[in-house]
Amino acid sequence: MSVHHGELSERKKLILKAIVEAHIQGGEPIGSKYITESKQLSCSSATIRNEMAELEALGYLEQPHTSAGRIPSKQGYRLYVDTLLEEYAMTAKEIAQINQLMKIKMSELDQILEKASKVASSLTNYTGFAIKPRAHAVTVTKYEAAMIDPHSFILIIVASNGAVKTRNVITEGELSERVLARLSAALNELVVGLDAGQISLPIIIALENRMSGDTVLVNTVMKSIYEVLSELDSGELKVSGLDRLLQYPEFSDAENLGELLGALERKDDILDLVSDSDGENVSVVIGSESSVKVINNSTLVFKPIRSNGRTVGAVGVIGPLRMDYARVLATLDNLGGNISYLLSEPHTSKGEDHDG
């Protein structure tokens, strides 16, 4: 049974909010006695028990079989995040830690993301991650070949996302500068502007014809090109603070923890989840809302990092369902927003403004 969030009475919302926050804090099921004694609502224990029973019937609370208290369901956490969450005020120490990241002279996005994942983990006490999303359908804008010796050359590949990759290509037959020049011209005429899926057999045959039927050379070069395009499209996942998961009883089950660590190790599922997201706001993926089965009992929160109008990465955390959502959302919003600002324009004096 489900109900639209707006149909819940204010009292039910207050009770649900109190239960979620108490469960986040202590991890134990919450009973009506706690709500009564906390004096958050001026109504009887019997009234609170009835309201809690109704919230359970509506799917917002669950009752562990070993306890008389209730815990929030995934639906309960979703309602809390969407409508009941109070804004978290970051401390001066937390803001200073983020500002410290902004002062570091880092020219490479990879370096910034790696540091960001560590800061996210440190500030929230959950496992931090940073993602360089999949660059869907990367193409090559230019090919160059530079001879090393008669049996090897360097293939220089300039990608549409600005990356420059090189491959050392070893050949069976002897090479000449003239052959390499012809190869570069053929690649730039026939293969530029195509992603890996668009490089068809007719194009490879045309390339072989241009290279006087040298099938071995063409196959060797195409293997290198496929490798580079695959590498550029694969995305990256950097993880920090894995050991922090061990602090939470939810991850004490070795099998559940192993599955989660496996998903982080494989990276593909989480990369897909983040790479396919739209918008600029912090995203909260609670348990089974995710297509990644192994985070069924976890929450994944991330903020896209944007530079000059496009998403270039994301920073986030993964932790238990009873996550300190207010703190996590404020931290990631601040951290991701600052990195986006840092990347979008050259700010030579950035960071100096925050020394006070």
Higher pLDDT, 132 or 291: 132
pLDDT digit string (tens) for 8-28? 999 999 999 999 999 999 888
- Same domain, residue pair 24 and 41: yes
- Same domain, residue pair 284 and 348: yes
Task: Give the CATH number of the domain where residue 156 resides.
Answer: 3.30.390
- Per DSSP, the three-state class of 239 is strand
Burial of 39 by CB count in 10 Å (0-12 exposed, 13-18 middle, 19+ buried)?
exposed
Residue 209 has pLDDT above 90, yes or no: yes
H or E element that contains 143: strand 140-149
- Same domain, residue pair 189 and 240: no
Q: What is the pLDDT of residue 344?
A: 73
Q: How many CA within 13 A on the CB side of residue 219?
A: 5
Q: What is the pLDDT of residue 296?
A: 75
Residue 4 has pLDDT above 60, yes or no: no
> In this structure, what are the phi and psi dihedrals at residue 321, rounded to the nearest 5 degrees?
-60, -35
- Same domain, residue pair 124 and 16: no
Q: What is the pLDDT of residue 48?
A: 92
* Mean pLDDT to the nearest integer, 44-54: 91
* Mean pLDDT to the nearest integer, 101-129: 85
CA separation, residue 8 to residues 42, 77, 180, 321, 326 (Å): 18, 15, 72, 22, 22
- Same domain, residue pair 282 and 261: yes
- Same domain, residue pair 285 and 309: yes
Candidates 263, 300, 308; CA nearest to 282 is: 300
Residue 350 has pLDDT above 70, yes or no: no
Residue 338 has pLDDT above 60, yes or no: yes
Q: Which residues contact 42 (CB under 8 A, 6 or more apart)?
A: none
- Mean pLDDT lowest among 44-58, 87-101, 225-239: 225-239
- Same domain, residue pair 244 and 223: no
- Same domain, residue pair 240 and 344: yes
Higher pLDDT, 109 or 323: 323
pLDDT digit string (tens) for 254-312? 877 887 888 888 788 788 777 767 678 999 999 878 776 667 778 999 999 887 777 88
CA distance 316 to 128: 6
Picking from 233, 264, 284, the residue at the C-terminal end of a domain is 233
- Same domain, residue pair 264 and 345: yes
CA distance 320 to 323: 6
Picking from 233, 248, 264, the residue at the C-terminal end of a domain is 233
Q: What is the pLDDT of residue 107?
A: 60
* Mean pLDDT to the nearest integer, 328-354: 73
Candidates 78, 95, 127; CA nearest to 316 is: 127
Residue type, 133: P
Structural domain containing residue 224: 140-233
Task: Give the CATH number of the domain where residue 349 resides.
Answer: 3.30.450.40
- Same domain, residue pair 62 and 192: no
CA distance 331 to 87: 11
Residue 211 has pLDDT above 50, yes or no: yes
Share of the chain above pLDDT 70, in %: 90
Picking from 233, 259, 291, the residue at the C-terminal end of a domain is 233
Confidence of residue 124 (pLDDT cuts 50, 70, 90): very high
Q: What is the mean pLDDT of the chain?
A: 86
- Same domain, residue pair 103 and 245: yes
Task: Give the CATH number of the domain where residue 16 resides.
Answer: 1.10.10.10
pLDDT digit string (tens) for 70-91? 999 999 999 999 999 999 999 9
Maximum distance among all Cα pairs of the chain, rounded to whole angstroms: 91
Q: What is the pLDDT of residue 1?
A: 41
- Same domain, residue pair 269 and 341: yes
Number of domains in the chain: 3
